[in-house]
Structure formats: structure tokens, C-alpha cells
Amino acid sequence: MSDLARSTQFFHFTAAFGAGGLLTLMVLCNGTLAARGSLFFASWIPHLTGSIVALFLLLILRPKRAARVRPPLWVYLGGISGGVTVMLTSATMNTALALSGTIALGLAGQVVFSLFADMQGLFGLPKRSPTPRDYMSMMFILAGSLILIFLGGGA
């Protein structure tokens, strides 16, 4: 791997890691809304303000379109999947699974889906086969996450 490719990869990895940090802040904000209002409200408000902010950013930054042809309509439906996720997690959070079980099983779902998606090159994204090293890395990250979820809390 060349130095340039390595530093590009480092940048991508740092960005993904940082996005995880953003997710923590987002969960804190939305969870605080949910503590006062309804679960619908806690999902509706961030979607509303997010749409407005994204629209403003689009108008200001005017990012270049990668392709001139419009993509098929179904690629606009990612938001529905996100909306269903909110409802499912708020449903399971209040069962015996609790928040920790919901998060842990959600991680399992994400890992299985992402491996499948990579191997298939799902929806026309680049196809890639995970290496043994990727699996090892995944085991470490999952093990650490489970330790934090089930043993790291105060209970």
C-alpha cells in the first residue's frame, strides 16, 4: 500500500470513527427529547430540523452531482428504513431486552447486514470480500462493545 493510499485510508477511518462520536451526541440529544416528549416527537423533530439544515447547506454549498442521470426512485427510500428503525428500537427498549440488549442485538444485525452487503456489492456499491484480518478486527470491536454494554454500566 502506497503512502498516499495509506493516508487516505487513515483519513477515511478517522472520519468513520468521528461519525460514531457524532452518533453519541445525536443519541444524547434525541434521548433527551424523548425523556420529555413522545418517541414520535424525538424522531420527528430531528428529521424536521435536519431536513431544513440539509436544504440550507445544499443551497449554500451546491455540491456537484456525481452523475447527470437521475438514479432510480428507490434509492430515495433510505429514510423510511431509518424511520422504521426508530420505531423498532423504541418498542424493544421497553421489553426485557432493555437498552443494552437492544443495542447489542442491533450491533449483530448491523454486522451481518454489512458483511452480506459487501460480499454481494449490494445496490451497486463496490463488491468486496472481507479478509481474515477484517474478521479479527470485527471480533475485537464487537467483544469490546459487548463488555462496555453489559459490564461497563453502573448496574
User: Exposed/middle/buried for 43, CB within 10 Å: 0-12, 13-18, 19+?
Assistant: buried
- Residues 10-69 within binding reach of another protein (CB under 8 A): 10, 12-13, 15-26, 28-30, 32-33, 35-38, 40-41, 43-55, 57-58, 61, 63-67, 69
**85 is an interface residue for another protein by CB under 8 A:** yes
With H, G, I as helix, E, B as strand and everything else as coil, classify residue 30: helix
CB of 35 to another protein, least distance (A): 8
- The binding track of 127-146 with respect to another protein, each residue x by CB under 8 A or -, is -x-xx-xx-xxxxxxxxxx-
**92 is an interface residue for another protein by CB under 8 A:** yes
| Cα–Cα dist 86/42, whole Å | 9
Chain-centroid distance, C-alpha 117: 14
CB of 124 to another protein, least distance (A): 6
**Greatest CA separation for the chain:** 54
**7 is an interface residue for another protein by CB under 8 A:** no
Q: Are 104 and 150 in contact (CB under 8 A)?
A: yes
What residue type is 40 in one-letter code?
F
CB of 7 to another protein, least distance (A): 11
**95 is an interface residue for another protein by CB under 8 A:** yes
With CB under 8 A as the rule, give the number of residues binding another protein. 115
CB of 56 to another protein, least distance (A): 10
Q: Are 43 and 51 in contact (CB under 8 A)?
A: no
**112 is an interface residue for another protein by CB under 8 A:** yes
